[in-house]
């Protein structure tokens, strides 16, 4: 158990809908990262927050957005869902925002768009 | 852009034997970090080992060790005394500076099967 929690574990929804994925980092970690794992694209970085502020952006679609709250939990919002958004979404956390720190991953949320 | 290449999509090893998984990367940066993550059938991403590029000594964690060749941009993972629980997908990852943050760049993974 990495100490990073993600809810829900599974999510099934229809095209065009909107969903919210939630992540709680390890105690003491200030930085949260979101990654998407799909069969065709592999593991891709989406976005990073550090202590409530956006720090870095990767291949995140405009239909996706995220935020980190004062209690440091983070939410990833996915809207106007398409079939291709079906994937495993991971949250990871680390103490520092930089590369000296190891990122610890949560168990992931499996999103299925029908 | 940094890229990570794992040239072995699938590998198989017998229990108690040794196996080496390959990884190469491309970067123009001088300060970076390399990782191996394991993803068993449960899909959890588990850190196996990490290597700082500025360190010449290869990292070791129990049965797991790396062969880091900085000039060749190679970072292979050696698993000694393989166990059935080592069956998993293994991802090599490079940690880079991206817009003042650090995002992991992953290879496509090597699926390792440990057989009795």
* Shortest alpha-carbon distance between residue B37 and chain A (Å): 10
Flag whether residue A34 sits within 8 Å of chain B, measured between CB atoms.
Answer: no
A83 DSSP assignment: G
pLDDT tens digits, one per residue of B63-90: 999 999 999 999 999 999 999 999 999 9
Does B98 have pLDDT greater than 60? Answer: no
- Residue range A5-9: mean pLDDT, rounded: 97
Give the span between the Cα atoms of A82 and A40, in whole angstroms.
Answer: 15
> Among A9-23, A76-90, A94-108, B101-115, where is mean pLDDT lowest?
A94-108
Residues of A in contact with B106 (CB under 8 A): 42-44
The answer to whether the Cβ–Cβ distance between A99 and B97 falls below 8 Å is: yes
pLDDT at residue A25, rounded to an integer: 97
CA distances for A72 relative to A3, A22, A63, A68, A89, angstroms: 14, 11, 23, 6, 18
Read off the pLDDT band of B24 (50, 70, 90): very high
Does A50 have pLDDT greater than 60? Answer: yes
Does B97 have pLDDT greater than 80? Answer: no
């Amino acid at each position: 158990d990495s100490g990073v929690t993600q809810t829900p574990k599974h999510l099934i929804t229809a095209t065009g809908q909107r969903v919210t994925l939630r992540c709680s980092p390890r105690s003491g970690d200030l930085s949260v990262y979101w990654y998407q794992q799909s069969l065709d694209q592999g593991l891709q970085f989406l976005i990073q927050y550090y202590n409530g502020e956006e720090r870095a952006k990767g291949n995140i679609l405009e239909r996706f957005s995220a935020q980190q709250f004062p209690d440091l939990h983070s939410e990833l919002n996915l809207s106007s869902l398409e079939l291709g958004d079906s994937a495993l979404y991971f949250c990871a956390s680390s103490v520092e925002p930089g590369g000296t720190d190891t990122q610890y991953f949560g168990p992931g949320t499996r999103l299925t768009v029908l | 852009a940094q890229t990570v290449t794992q040239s072995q999509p699938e590998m198989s090893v017998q229990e108690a034997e040794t196996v080496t998984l390959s990884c190469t990367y491309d970067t123009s940066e001088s300060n970076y970090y390399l990782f191996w993550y394991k993803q068993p059938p449960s899909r959890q991403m588990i850190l196996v080992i990490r290597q700082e590029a500025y360190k010449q000594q290869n990292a070791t964690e129990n049965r797991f060790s790396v062969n880091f060749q900085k000039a060749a941009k190679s970072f292979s993972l050696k698993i000694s005394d393989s166990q059935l629980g080592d069956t998993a997908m293994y991802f090599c990852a490079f940690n880079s500076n991206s817009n003042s943050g650090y995002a992991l760049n992953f290879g496509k993974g090597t699926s390792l099967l440990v057989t009795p």
